[in-house]
Structure 1
Amino acid sequence: MTTTDLGIRAEPGSFRDPANRVFHLGEQVLRGLGPGAAADWRALAASDFFAALLAEGKVCGTTVVDPATLPDTGWTTVLRHERIPFVSHPYEWSFGMLRDAALLHLEILRRALEAGFTVKDGSAYNLQWQGATPVFIDIGSFAPLVEGEPWAGYRQFCQTLLYPLLLQAHLGVDFQPWLRARVDGIEPDQLRPLFRGIRRLLPGVPTHVHLHGAMQARHAAASSSAVAAQLRDAGYSRGLALATVRRLTKLVRRLDRRVDGGHWVDYQRTCAYSAADRAAKEDFVAAAVAAGDTARLALDLGANDGRYARIAARRAAQVVAVEQDPAVVDALYRVLRAEGDRRILPLVMDLADPSPGGGWRGVERAGFAARTHADVVLALAVVHHLAIGRNVPLSEVVDQLVGYVRPGGRLVVEFVHPEDPMAQRLLANKPAGLFPDYRSDEFARLLALRCRVERQQDLPSGTRTLYQAVVDG
């Protein structure tokens, strides 16, 4: 009998370390440990530093599972992890999110080293979010420290965390497309041509880009054990490793976004909404979110400054606030982080080009649609941007929005009429007559084919209509 027959589903993104693997059984998130990993876990669970990290919420909640409560998995020990409300990927994070994730990773490594442990990996994918609070999830990467061995995760840390931060902070280049292109991150050789001349001397570049790239090329043919032996012979120690971590921490803290806020940062002031429109819209959204049971997950598409995500958070356990502009997401994140918010997760994403599946076989990192089964979806002032601004057929826009809602969940959507000033602004850049189907009656017809419309309301301006609909299974 296979594990699939037992109802066990292997996590597609957990296979690179054969000593342990994450899998799912119903709603449970479990991790199987082989003999060596089980011994490392026992040492870790007995340590004071790990207990402190758990108490502080900096690593995901983890307990040992009684084997009598599980089918025979073949693993020596099985752990149960706290479920992350919504799994996101580093190329969906803002600069501030990536920097805070890097700082947490370095803090955990420092505290592990001080206690005689290390973290084998350094990947950004080892971190997730509880709202705007980062949490380390790769419990299987902790291991007792072998004195004199270097940090095995340094290369991963550079490629998935440090290099994207350097790219944004020093050059003003958004890192998200670079990380999305390669699951293993940015290689030193990709960055070195961008940091020539005076740029070679920018903070972090000489050591972590040029020297690291040169050392990597020099030891390309050597085994990891041979390199570790050379470092031990040269006097490499835990003290030197700690000094490196502290220098990296100081560097990362100094890095910040180079570019100013994007076009949408001041949207609430410059958009065409009147005070009456805004008040009516907020009341409609609040009533729609409160119409059913408390939502496990709400999705706010085109979230901008998070006004409606905050309304959704009154009745939802977790809200994912999606916005295309990285600067807008970063501004929202910094406010939420300062507030200690653990309910609203802001993400960078273009709804006309949402995150696809990536990595091994295209499923190692699940696409956005595969991860999204929301109880409530807010799609406010986004339909016209997709249908007119991006030339997506109106029927397909409706299909996409409905596809994000779980059966029985609710869709709250705003249709901006062709005569609305914002729609007119988009239409002015298009050939006349290009969108004959972009009409309020056609939108209402398409929505009714896919949902059960519970109520609708025209805003006082008369050029926008709100719909509350249930997506039946």
Structure 2
Amino acid sequence: MDGSPALLAARAEPGSFRDPGNRVFYVGSRVYRGLAPRAAANWEALRGSAFFPGLLAAGKICGTEPAEPGTVPAAEAGRWAAVLRHERIPFVSYPYEWSFTMLRDAALTHLEVLTEALADGFTTSDGSAYNVQWRGAEPVFVDVGSFEPARDGEPWAGYRQFCQTLLYPLMLQAHLGLDFQPWLRARVDGIEPGQIRRLFGGTRRFSAGALKHIHLHDALQTRHGATGTGEVRAELRAAGFSRDLVLATVRGLERLVRRLDWQPPASHWSRYGRSCGYSAEDRRRKERFVADALAGTGGCRLVLDLGANDGAYARVAARHAEQVVAVEADPTVADQLYRRLRADGERRVLPLVMDLADPSPGGGWRAVERAPFAARARADAVLALAVVHHLAIGRDVPLAEVVDWLLGPLDGAGRRGRLVVEFVHPEDPMARRLLANKPAGQFPGYRREEFERLLDARCVAVRREELACGTRTLYAGTPRG
């Protein structure tokens, strides 16, 4: 229940402050956007355009409509010339949590929306990767406040942001084989032209897109660094720069992005399904155990599958949840999972790339502009299948802290909260492989009895099931209190 607007205060979205003309805020679980007078006039023009309703109906742009009178607290409504209500995205994620193909599809979605807008006399004021979110494996453009009428003689204002947060990361991985996620996580504004230019010297400057979008871009930025934006726009108008040239540039960007590709290299985890030693019977038991555990919740809004690998159990969870976030540390595995989900048109499973021992922190202005994963990951159920031993042995995290961390997202879930976890015994081949790389006797507490003691102390109604292999046990429990 959202409750009465008169009783609920509006909460500003910490990441929505860079454009003073509009601001996203929340009232209960509803998502709104307040518009200043100029932004409100742009909205009226936008809703009357030819392109916008079509993209909205196709799901390319997040659901948006004028807020109904009385649904926004009067104090907040009075601040704005108009207020919009948006559909709520099931789970907010960030570009440094996406795989290569996800980032490429996000870039193509942005360019598709922009192309349609330009053809109808509109443009967007920025080109950030953060303008795209996901309904499962389906990208959706969310920054409705960035649309504005296009003006002749002016370039696309979002070109630099697009390069820094979308094009350059894609080129980094496609041409050099470097994972882009750490670069985007380190800088909320993306990769500067001057930074990436150093990586594309010598013959690499002839890589697709490098001369024009890296070297020329950096040179022009250096040349006009001391020139005001207004002066640059005046020069372009005098030179005959037109909207057709902007459209040609955007179409050229689309062709380039489609050419950029990355063939995921084979990795240990991409072969895990064939090498982990599970029998067909073990897999059936795990699937049935997960399904039974989640069926008892009465339906979940959000399930986290931590260490999702090929997503088999995320798909099982999706039968009982509105959204499943499937977290996988290996970029190759996550990308393969995304491609399969996309091919299936799956809108309930969102794959993310993330190291569970080093999850996304807060970032940007005051470290709240981009919320940490822990703040976003409030779930009704957590799946942690064959992941405890990797954290406790592989990453040296005390077993008690692993259990507490797994239960953290369930805080506030109440009686329907469910932790479904698999404990790999010390004598299991995979655990023995990890222990072989550690000093003898380093993990005396890594025992099934100790894990069960910790789980029983923190959960109620714990169910147990032994797998046929005899060295792995499944548990399902509800957090106490």
Please state if 1:102 is matched with 2:107. Answer: yes
Moved more, 388-397 or 278-287: 278-287
Matches within 5 A, 1:51-130: 51-72=53-74, 73=76, 74-130=79-135
Distance 1:186 1:244 in 2: 20
Post-superposition offset of 1:257: 0.8
Does structure 2 retain, via aligned residues, the 8 Å contact 1:453–1:467? no
Does structure 1 retain, via aligned residues, the 8 Å contact 2:384–2:420? yes
Letter in 1 for 2:156: W
Please state if 1:390 is matched with 2:399. Answer: no
Letter in 1 for 2:438: K
Post-superposition offset of 1:69: 3.0
Q: 1:324 is matched with which residue: 313, 326, 329?
A: 329
Does structure 2 retain, via aligned residues, the 8 Å contact 1:172–1:259? no
3-state SS in 2 of match to 1:297: strand
Letter in 2 for 1:263: H
Q: 1:14 is matched with which residue: 13, 16, 27?
A: 16
Distance 1:5 1:149 in 2: 46
Post-superposition offset of 1:167: 0.1
TM-superposition CA deviations, 1:226-263 (whole Å, max 9, x none): 11111111111110001001110000001111541322
Matches within 5 A, 1:198-347: 198-347=203-352
Partner of 2:421: 413
Cα distance, 1:351–1:23 mapped onto 2, change above 3 Å: same
Distance 1:87 1:405 in 2: 18
Moved more, 127-136 or 189-198: 189-198
Post-superposition offset of 1:275: 2.2
Post-superposition offset of 1:71: 1.7
Post-superposition offset of 1:216: 0.7
Does structure 2 retain, via aligned residues, the 8 Å contact 1:457–1:467? yes
TM-superposition CA deviations, 1:125-147 (whole Å, max 9, x none): 00000000000000000001111
TM-superposition CA deviations, 1:151-196 (whole Å, max 9, x none): 1100000000000000000000000000000000001111111111
Does structure 1 retain, via aligned residues, the 8 Å contact 2:6–2:73? no
Q: 2:368 is matched with which residue: 363, 372, 382?
A: 363
Distance 1:357 1:293 in 2: 32
Does structure 2 retain, via aligned residues, the 8 Å contact 1:171–1:258? no
Distance 1:60 1:115 in 2: 19
Post-superposition offset of 1:279: 1.7
Post-superposition offset of 1:120: 0.6
Please state if 1:30 is matched with 2:32. Answer: yes
Please state if 1:428 is matched with 2:430. Answer: no
State TM-score, norm by structure 2: 0.96
Please state if 1:457 is matched with 2:465. Answer: yes
Post-superposition offset of 1:278: 1.7
Distance 2:367 2:172 in 1: 26
Distance 2:354 2:259 in 1: 26
3-state SS in 2 of match to 1:134: strand
Post-superposition offset of 1:5: 9.1
Does structure 2 retain, via aligned residues, the 8 Å contact 1:172–1:258? no
Distance 1:25 1:472 in 2: 29
Letter in 1 for 2:112: E
Moved more, 301-310 or 267-276: 267-276
Partner of 1:141: 146
Post-superposition offset of 1:225: 1.2
Moved more, 449-458 or 306-315: 449-458
Distance 1:294 1:211 in 2: 54
Q: 1:178 is matched with which residue: 183, 190, 208?
A: 183
Does structure 1 retain, via aligned residues, the 8 Å contact 2:456–2:462? no
Letter in 1 for 2:470: G
3-state SS in 2 of match to 1:229: helix
State TM-score, norm by structure 1: 0.98
3-state SS in 2 of match to 1:228: helix
Post-superposition offset of 1:357: 0.5
Distance 2:299 2:256 in 1: 42
Distance 2:7 2:318 in 1: 38
Does structure 2 retain, via aligned residues, the 8 Å contact 1:85–1:318? yes
Please state if 1:468 is matched with 2:468. Answer: no
Distance 1:260 1:188 in 2: 27
Distance 2:256 2:6 in 1: 46
Does structure 2 retain, via aligned residues, the 8 Å contact 1:10–1:23? yes
Does structure 1 retain, via aligned residues, the 8 Å contact 2:95–2:129? yes
Q: 2:43 is matched with which residue: 18, 37, 41?
A: 41
Partner of 1:404: 409
Distance 1:5 1:277 in 2: 51
TM-superposition CA deviations, 1:283-310 (whole Å, max 9, x none): 1111112112111111111100110001
3-state SS in 2 of match to 1:198: helix
Distance 1:11 1:139 in 2: 15
Distance 1:194 1:67 in 2: 54
Percent of aligned pairs with the same amino acid: 68
Post-superposition offset of 1:219: 0.8
Distance 2:303 2:234 in 1: 52
Does structure 1 retain, via aligned residues, the 8 Å contact 2:8–2:28? no
Post-superposition offset of 1:67: 3.5
Distance 1:6 1:411 in 2: 31
Distance 2:220 2:196 in 1: 15
Partner of 1:131: 136
Distance 1:6 1:330 in 2: 40
* Structure 2 unaligned regions, length at least 5: none
Distance 2:422 2:290 in 1: 10
